[in-house]
């Protein structure tokens, strides 16, 4: 579903890993805010095309584009497909991510898992942001230009069976600050959203564990977060209303980040 469409002149948003879950919620929300969206997926072609079709039927221009953000050629193709369809890119949401393969103890973790997790969760977002920023710098008009990195409380909260995931997410925090600093003079804003325990495909295998933790006070707000909670945060950050803020983290974690005694 990579066709040129006759569309209004709304901002163009690319959301990686957006065929389902948090990414799909973000794509829907930004569409409702007037964005033309590119739904990126790696394996879930039917879901991506279904979402793009659903949005298009509502009058929200959308296309689906396959691509692994950890792959150089796929990142380039994602950018080229976006420009072919819409002629620009105003918003990049680096949402695609995978958890540690096998969730092995730190003493048993493997280089294969490390490489896969880092390619998807850190290297991919870095170099896709680089491509997007180069294009955004050529666009000087009324649309806000924003990069949002979807991070995790695992960037600072230790999980000994997900070392590669935690370290990659910690790197994403520094990446946010680096791009925010570099792109400020260009009027391009960079933020990160830090979800906590969100009800999604990724957390399904540990649902019972977190049901109990939440009930016992893991977070001040005693409920699971939703994909819509994260989408609301992205909506705010991409609205252009925070014109004196960049490099900032917005926690969507029920207050998990608050240190309590």
Phi, psi of 138 (to 5 degrees): -85, -10
Phi, psi of 57 (to 5 degrees): -65, -25
SS3 content of the chain, % helix, strand, coil (to 5): 45, 15, 40
Q: Which tokens go with 248? A: 């900032």
What is the spatial distance between Cα 236 and Cα 106, in angstroms, rounded to a whole number? 37
41 included as an active-site residue: no
What is the spatial distance between Cα 29 and Cα 31, in angstroms, rounded to a whole number? 5
> String of b and e for 163-197 (b: at least 16 CB within 10 Å)?
bbbbbbbbbbbebbeebbeebeeeebbbbbbbbbb
249, β-bridge pairs: 192
Q: DSSP assignment of 108-139, as one string?
A: T--HHHHHHHHIIIIIHHHHHHHHHHHHHTT-
Q: Which tokens go with 217? A: 């006070």
DSSP summary character for residue 204: G
* Contact in structure between 70 and 120 (CB atoms under 8 Å): yes
Q: Please identify which of the residues 41, 156, 165, 210 carries the catalytic annotation.
A: 165
Give the residue numbers annotated as catalytic, written as ranges: 165
């Amino acid at each position: 579903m990579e066709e040129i469409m006759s569309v209004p002149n709304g901002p163009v948003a690319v959301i990686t890993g957006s065929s389902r879950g948090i990414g799909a919620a973000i794509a829907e929300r930004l569409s409702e805010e007037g964005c033309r969206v590119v739904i990126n997926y790696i394996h879930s072609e039917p879901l991506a095309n279904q979402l793009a079709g659903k949005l298009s039927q509502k009058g929200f221009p959308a296309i689906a584009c396959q691509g692994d953000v950890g792959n150089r050629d796929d990142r380039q193709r994602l950018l080229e497909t976006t420009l072919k369809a819409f002629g620009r890119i105003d918003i990049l949401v680096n949402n695609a991510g995978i958890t540690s393969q096998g969730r092995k103890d730190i003493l048993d973790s493997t280089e294969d898992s490390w490489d896969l997790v880092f390619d998807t969760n850190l290297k991919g977002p870095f170099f896709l942001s680089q491509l997007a920023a180069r294009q955004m710098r050529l666009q000087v008009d009324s649309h806000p230009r924003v990069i949002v990195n979807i991070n995790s409380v695992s960037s600072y909260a230790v999980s000994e069976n997900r070392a590669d995931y935690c370290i990659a997410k910690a790197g994403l925090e520094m990446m946010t600050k680096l791009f925010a600093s570099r792109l400020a003079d260009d009027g391009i804003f960079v933020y990160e959203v830090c979800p906590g325990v969100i009800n999604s495909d990724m957390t399904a295998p540990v649902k019972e564990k977190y049901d109990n933790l939440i009930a016992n006070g893991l977070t001040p707000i005693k409920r699971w977060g939703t994909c819509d909670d994260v989408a609301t945060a992205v909506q705010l950050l991409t609205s252009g209303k925070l014109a004196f803020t960049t490099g900032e983290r917005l926690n969507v974690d029920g207050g998990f980040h608050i240190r309590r005694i």
